[in-house]
Structure 1
């Protein structure tokens, strides 16, 4: 059997696709898997690193307003559909699974042209244009959010990496803190802004660093690969570990008692799966899906939320620091976050894909 996975751009599209690929190989090692993406996204690094075949097709971003660039879309889209069709023919694909992003629109249309079964997975509460189109072409639609606005959708959660869903934070905590050069007996705050980082989170956390350290807290801060800082916190205890990127986010989660982060669909799915409470600062742009993601967790007791415009060093000191100082509150919030997590979406979706293909 040959399965083609289409999803690219951000980790939120790519990581669920790769988690599904791992689950398919776990169920049937003989399955052939091809990932389709563009040269604009993280797939060019993430997919080969996980050992999967990657085919690149032209990106066809659709303008959100009527502009002269709209006139070029039909021709470029036709070229991308032809490119995906050629890939489907070459690998003798049996099924296409799409996760959204620029590459998903031509992939859905190419699969429809070839008469292949189509599976759509949407991780966000508000689907993008590609998955709204894909959902009209198939009855096999699955979501990572309980009330995602797609017809015929079935909620299964978001496929996550095995190292995330099998993580035992309590038993791995000491090892994880040692991995990052942190002490084992101090409350630990994890700061990150998604796969690319977030400048507002970086600036607020760094400005709050002296107060956090004075209170005895240590910090693991992942800046994001494209972000830099003018001045790093001076060395000393408690530790303030500043890193541009972390490949082992499972260890970062295990090292932490609380996170300060964005609230993308993948971030929320991973944090609830491992039971790590967080202070969420939703991305202020887009259609507001990050706020919706965080609201569900905050209402369930697994986190708190702040508008990006209100995130400041003072807000961190007044709201995050008291939680880190209260182990019982951290434990209660951890349990609440874990109740909202789903750990079996990868295997569930893999079994559905095999059933549909057969």
Structure 2
């Protein structure tokens, strides 16, 4: 079977597509990827050993303030529809699967012209614009959450990447932190996300100096350069998350759907900090839904104050310390994203039921 996967914008759209595509390739299918022209998108694919077909568009024309930018993006979107039309006719796929974001719109339009089976996966609790359009056009929508505002969809969960099972020691060795992290240290990992998060990263310089955290070591992912300062390691972005998750006793992260799906499957305690500028407040809604399903999760927002963040982290850290003889340094067996199967299989069953 020939499958086109369309995903761009951020890692939250791209990594679920890659996870699903890897599964289908292992099953013998021909998988093609399509993304936009942002350098970050190309970098994510490259670091996952995937060569996508690139459309000449960098974002949606909606929400742009300058008239020139609106015109440029609109024109590039029109060109991308034409290019996508040619590509689909060339490949003649059995289906197209869209993973949301602006880059999904050209493929959605083309699928209607050529009458090719098309599906869309929505990773967030609040559906994005393209997912809402697709739903109105009667396109089957798979959702990463049991409830998804703005669309009528089928819950599948969000496909997640496979990770190597590493011990704490092996993880620290790969990260070059063997000498920096003590045997008794609890490792708290701050995930900046594929877009980075300077405001989130700045929190570490405050919280790591608090007396409550003398037994903790912080790893901050998403900085410009690698360095270690006192009990904090600053690491540049990396896409092989196996050693990061392998050493993490706790994470502090944004509330992107793909990130929450991964840490949820691995069962890592988390402090979730929703990005306040996320469209339609979808990250806060993600965080609330995540909190309903997980015990070792807390939500923090800047309005709650640094003192409350310190309290939350300390409570979770103490909870970790009380657990008896748990091998925190080794990745746990992955839990299923749905009640009876994982998200990749659930999404594939949905697709097969329509083609």
Q: What TM-score does the superposition give when structure 1 sets the normalisation length?
A: 0.84
CA distance in 2, matches of 1:209, 1:26: 43
Distance 1:311 1:33, change over 3 A: farther
- Counterparts of 1:210 and 1:288 in 2: how far apart (Å)? 31
Mapped pair 1:292 → 2:285: yes
* Superposed displacement of residue 284, structure 1: 0.9
CA deviation digits over 1:139-193, x for unaligned, max 9? 4210001111244410010011122xxx66xx73343234332334321111122
Task: Tell me which of 315, 321, 339 is aligned to 2:314.
Answer: 321
Q: Residue 68 of structure 1: CA displacement? A: 4.3
Is 1:217 paired with 2:213?
no
SS across alignment from 1:146: coil
SS at match of 2:229: coil
C-alpha contact 1:282 1:308 (8 A) present in aligned 2: no
- Equivalence for 2:171: 176
CA deviations on 1:12-48 (whole Å, 9 max, x unpaired) are 1101111110111122x2x221111111253312223
Match of 2:344 in 1: 346
Which region of structure 1 is more displaced relative to structure 2, 194-203 or 276-285? 194-203
Tell me which residue corresponds to 1:243. Answer: 235
Contact residue 44 and residue 239 of structure 2 kept, 8 A: no
SS at 2:53's partner residue? strand
Q: Judge conservation of contact 1:257–1:330 (CA < 8 Å) in 2.
A: no
Shift of residue 341, structure 1, vs aligned partner: 4.8
Higher helix share: 1
Q: Does 1:50 align with 2:45?
A: no
Question: Against the structure 1 CA distance between its residues 2 and 94, is the aligned structure 2 distance closer, same or farther, given a 3 Å change threshold?
Answer: same
Match of 1:23 in 2: 23
Structure 2: state its 5+ residue gaps.
329-333
2:198 equivalent to 1:204: no
Pair 1:215–1:145, CA change in 2 (3 A): same
- Contact 1:324/1:330, CA 8 A, preserved across alignment: no
Please give the alpha-carbon distance, in whole angstroms, between the structure 2 residues aligned to 1:214 and 1:38. 42
Q: Which runs of 5+ in 1 are unaligned?
A: none
- Taking a change above 3 Å as real, the CA distance of residues 7 and 216 of structure 1, as seen in their structure-2 partners, is same
Is residue 305 from structure 1 mapped to residue 299 from structure 2 by the alignment?
Answer: yes
Q: 1:75 to 1:190 in 2, by over 3 A?
A: closer
Q: Secondary structure at the match of 2:210?
A: helix
Cα distance in 1 between the residues matched to 2:37 and 2:92: 23
Question: Cα distance, 1:330 vs. partner?
Answer: 6.6
Secondary structure of 2:52's aligned partner: strand
Number of aligned positions between the proteins: 338
**Which residue pairs with 2:190 in the alignment?**
191
**What is the Cα deviation at residue 234 of structure 1?**
3.5
Alpha carbons of structure 1 residues 316 and 71: separation in structure 2 relative to 1, 3 Å: closer
2:260 equivalent to 1:268: yes
* Contact preservation (8 Å) 2:100, 2:128: yes
Q: Who is 1:86 aligned against? A: 86
Q: Secondary structure at the match of 2:22?
A: helix
Residues 1:72 and 1:251: Cα distance change in structure 2 (over 3 Å): closer
- Tell me how far 1:109 sits from its aligned partner: 0.3
The alpha-carbon distance between structure 1 residues 327 and 101, as it changes in their structure 2 partners (threshold 3 A), is closer
Correspondence list, 1:97-116, <5 A: 97-116=97-116
Please say which of residues 256-265 and 343-352 is displaced more in the overlay: 343-352
CA distance in 2, matches of 1:10, 1:20: 16
Question: Residues 279 and 303 of structure 1 are in contact (CA less than 8 Å); yes or no, is this contact kept in structure 2?
Answer: yes
Q: Is the 8 A contact 1:200 1:311 kept in 2?
A: no
Task: Tell me how far 1:117 sits from its aligned partner.
Answer: 0.4
* Corresponding position of 1:234: 229
* Normalised TM-score (structure 2): 0.84
Equivalent-residue separation in structure 2 for 1:209 and 1:57 (angstroms): 43
